[in-house]
Amino acid sequence: MVTGTGTGVGKTIVTSAIAALAKADGRRVAVLKAAQAGLNEDGTGDVDTVRRLAGDVTTRELVRYIDPLAPETAARRSGMPTIGPADIALAASRLDEEHDTVIVEGAGGLLVRFDSNGSTIADAAWAMGVPVLVVAQAGLGTLNATALTAEALLRRGIESLGVVVGSWPDEPDLAARCNLEDLPVAAGAPLLGALPQGAGTLDPQRFLEVARAGLSPWFGGDFDPEQFAMTYKSS
């Protein structure tokens, strides 16, 4: 399960990178988007981005809402049905029958409401018994958001794999550079990668190279958090 500390932090790019590495390793890969709320300027959604970057992987989108809002709010405004943890778990289970790797991407942050019962992507992760990867921003303010997400996971008994910076700036400021050391502390889990800003605009071959350099060996990449932090170490 891939979640974020908020919206726009790079969940889809990280999901695409994990999928691209798994596919390159010869695995049968599926990506499940629990709820698409809001579209890109060209009318595409996150699963379209995954296919463009990761190539021939199976994608499924459970529901698509036009408004860029929390899924529950978007469903209420559109008159469309909501989905809950059981729907997400069932879809993931079916994909798991024919794939080696199934990646579930949430919508917004960990505790964004999916239905009137207050269900969240955290409930889906707990129901499936799967670990969660947290995607965070690089700069100022990310430590608090990351710590809150980590605490919510811990209180629910959900395993946190680690944290990935979804968009590492070309010219990181002081806060971003310091956060390379502080993010694992806030997350209570290791730093498992940092993907460069603009990675989502690359062609598939170049994106695969970036994914390999920017993600941990846990995902089949070459990312070394200590070496990366030393590169940007502030005085």
Residue found by looking up tokens 């010869």 in the block: 26
Query: Catalytic residue at 23?
Result: no
Cα(first)–Cα(last) distance of the chain, in Å?
A: 36
Q: Is residue 26 a known part of a binding site?
A: no
Distance CA 87, CA 105 (A): 14
SS3 call for 125: helix
- Residue 12 annotated as binding site: yes
Considering the candidates 16, 31, 33, 126, report the single residue annotated as catalytic. Answer: 33
Nearest to 4 by CA among 135, 103, 94: 135
- Residue 46 assigned as binding residue: yes
Helix (H), strand (E) counts: the chain? 9, 9
- 233 annotated to bind ligand: no
Tell me: is residue 196 an annotated ligand-binding position.
Answer: yes
Residue 167 annotated as part of some ligand binding site: yes
Hey, is 213 helix, strand or coil?
Answer: helix
Would the annotation count 166 as a binding residue?
yes
Residue 9 marked ligand-binding: yes
Residue 210 is assigned to a ligand binding site? no
User: Would you say 25 is a known binding-site residue?
Assistant: no
Alpha-carbon gap, residue 75 to 133, rounded angstroms? 26
d(CA 214, CA 135): 13
Burial class (CB in 10 A: 0-12, 13-18, 19+), 185: middle
Instruction: Using alpha carbons, select from 214, 231, 229 the residue that is nearest to residue 184.
Output: 229
Whether residue 121 is annotated as binding a ligand: the answer is no
Q: What are the residue numbers of the active site?
A: 33
Q: Which residues are annotated as a binding site for Mg(2+)?
A: 12, 46, 105
Q: Which residues are annotated as a binding site?
A: 8-13, 46, 105-108, 166-167, 196-198
Q: Which residues are annotated as a binding site for ATP?
A: 8-13, 46, 105-108, 166-167, 196-198
